Amino acid sequence: MSDVPSMNVDELQAALADGATSVDVTRAYLDRIAAADGELGAYLHVDPEAALARAAEMDSAGTRGTGLTGIPIALKDVVVTEGVPTTSGSKILEGWKPPYDATVAARLKAAGTVLLGKTNMDEFAMGSSTENSAYGVTRNPWDPQRIPGGSSGGSSAAVAGGLAPWAIGTDTGGSIRQPAALTGLVGHKPTYGSVSRYGLIAFSSSLDQAGPMARTVLDAALLHEAIGGYDPLDSTSIDAPLPVLAEAARRGAEGSLAGLRVGVVRELGGEGHADGYEDGVLTSFGAAVARLEAMGAEVREISCPAFDLALAAYYLIAPSEASSNLARFDGVRYGLRVGDDGARDLDEVMALTREQGFGPEVKRRIILGTYALSSGYYEAYYGQAQKVRTLISRDFSAAWDGRNGDGVDVLVSPTTPTVAFPLGARVDDPIAMYAADLCTLPASLAGVPAISVPCGLSEGLPVGFQIMAPALADDRCYRVAAALEAALTDERGDRGFLDQLAARAATTEGAA
């Protein structure tokens, strides 16, 4: 089954229902991993024997050929998996095998999926390029000299490169949407609280959400339905039914957006706010907006003034929460311990362990967070950032409610200001790196759902289109994204956005 790695999950489901085996499907991905991951570096851990054994088990299960039974998947290494090494991209957890499954992992297991492996990521999900991993860089399948985005860059590279049919990512300030945008995938950050955080190694607890990264909007919706919903093990989990997502994607693909009210956010690439945005990105974004209009949507510009402060607020709130969350890595209960020679006391051992176990970006953020939370500075930094967070939520509310009934149903923007940048271009400049999250931060801070769907190419590299919706209206993101995806696929006359990557690879090989 050599064409397996280019199949969408709904096509894999049809093949399995038709008699194909999960062992053959799984082997096709393992072959692809063996051939391509040496260059891409998407995975931190792959256990082919375990994957094939699990696939064989699913082939003999009573649920064979139904639902997600036998469908392979990759998990970002921030997701705790029982008995399977989990590092969160950090040396401090090298070799750790967790004693339990995260809810996301447990639900995917219960659904019958086959774990291919754990994917690379910026250490503790802190980064926008996956260059902060302690285990080496991951390359973008569209151009191996460029970053795959981050922090879920192993997941984005794996799916775009055909090394997994889909993958789980996590998003704190854009870590699903930005890598999805830079590799031509669909990536969705669910409403905060709608996917369980139990068993995700915590970075910034009030922002972290797990979500799907996939080849198509429908695939992303199917994966989201498999992981979402109330979980008593997460005290911030929302006890409400998940909206119907796959059906929203199918309906959206029918093409009509009549009556949909779309707001284009001025502060995210609009007039007077285009500094740092590439022309090619803005052109592609503008064409997609025009296409929504052509499908019947009513489009107008919306101003969300507090979005200008989202980056500043985020880089106070997230490091503050991280400095507290990462205190658990003390060299006592799990992971690395350094310098325990009997002469050094606990404090020294802890400081040496954390010095050796954490990379530079993690240290920078712990120091910044410690500062922002310290007495005398708390109000000016952390307290002020939390108030700005309120202002950002109010901008969203004002957009949905409008004045005199002129509210909008969704807000849209580019997903990132630029296409994938070259490896190394921003590693020494934290501020430049942080700017990659400019467009994704407001939805994170307000806890609202947001999806990135590919809307075109600029300089031969993918551009992402972001659709944000009110809390718990994730189905709107899927509906609008599916409509745009279907229109663009029709126009190109292919099976999906990633066909362009396959065509490009074929051309390159032909030329070589």
Cβ closer to other proteins: 250 or 363? 363
Cβ closer to other proteins: 287 or 312? 312
SS3 447: coil
User: 154: part of which helix (H) or strand (E)?
Assistant: helix 153-160
For this structure, is 175 an active site residue? yes
Beta carbon of residue 38, minimum distance to other proteins (angstroms, whole number): 30
64: nearest Cα among 115, 116, 4, 16: 16
Taking the CA atoms of 397, 402, 408 and 412 in sequence, report the sign of the dihedral they define.
negative
Beta carbon of residue 343, minimum distance to other proteins (angstroms, whole number): 8
Cβ closer to other proteins: 39 or 94? 94
DSSP H helices in 358-409: 360-372, 384-401
Catalytic residue among 22, 76, 90, 452: 76
Angle between helices 474-492 and 217-227 in degrees, nearest 10: 150
Cβ closer to other proteins: 210 or 448? 448
Give the separation between CA 29 and CA 144, rounded to whole angstroms.
20
Cβ closer to other proteins: 381 or 465? 381
Angle between helices 360-372 and 310-325 in degrees, nearest 10: 100
For this structure, is 458 an active site residue? no
Beta carbon of residue 214, minimum distance to other proteins (angstroms, whole number): 24
SS3 311: helix
Give the separation between CA 284 and CA 280, rounded to whole angstroms.
6
> Which amino acid is it at 396?
F
Give the N- to C-terminal CA distance of the chain in Å, as an integer: 26
Beta carbon of residue 511, minimum distance to other proteins (angstroms, whole number): 42
Cβ closer to other proteins: 146 or 188? 188
For 118, the token pair is 């754990």
**Cα 274 to the chain's mean position, in Å?**
24
Catalytic residue among 88, 90, 156, 175: 175
For this structure, is 189 an active site residue? no
The CB density around residue 234, as the number of other CB atoms within 10 Å, is 17
Burial zone of 391 (CB within 10 Å; 0-12 exposed, 13-18 middle, 19+ buried): middle
Beta carbon of residue 332, minimum distance to other proteins (angstroms, whole number): 6
Cβ closer to other proteins: 18 or 428? 428
Catalytic residue among 151, 155, 196, 444: 151
Beta carbon of residue 131, minimum distance to other proteins (angstroms, whole number): 15
Beta carbon of residue 340, minimum distance to other proteins (angstroms, whole number): 5
List, in sequence order, every beta strand (DSSP E) within 112-194. 114-119, 166-171, 186-189
List the catalytic residues. Answer: 76, 151, 175
